[in-house]
Amino acid sequence: MADSTEQRDEYLKGRPRTGKARFHVMPDDDGWAVRKEGEEEILSIHASKLEAAEEAKRLAKEASTVAFLHYEGKLENKRE
């Protein structure tokens, strides 16, 4: 069976608004981190998952792309 990255890439292939860099919300030692896909740098840290999700959603809207929410290393939700 394909790993989760391959499954995600297959799911997103050919979908509108997903060709650009996406934003991810992930748990971090200091709270909830927002990262741009493919980059190690954390764009921002937030005290709550909701705050991080709103920031990722804002960034995604500006970039005409999507934001992904993660929980314990697994994809939880996609926000457009």
Find out whether 32 and 80 touch, Cβ atoms under 8 Å: no
In sequence order, the β-bridge partners of residue 39 are none
pLDDT at 1: 38
CB count in 10 Å sphere of residue 69 = 19
pLDDT at 66: 87
13-67 tens-digit pLDDT: 555 544 567 899 999 999 999 999 888 899 999 999 999 999 999 999 998 888 8
In sequence order, the β-bridge partners of residue 67 are 23, 79
Find out whether 42 and 24 touch, Cβ atoms under 8 Å: no
pLDDT at 5: 59
pLDDT band at 79 (very low <50, low <70, confident <90, very high): low
State the Cα–Cα distance between residues 5 and 22, nearest whole angstrom.
Answer: 14
pTM higher than the cut 0.75: no
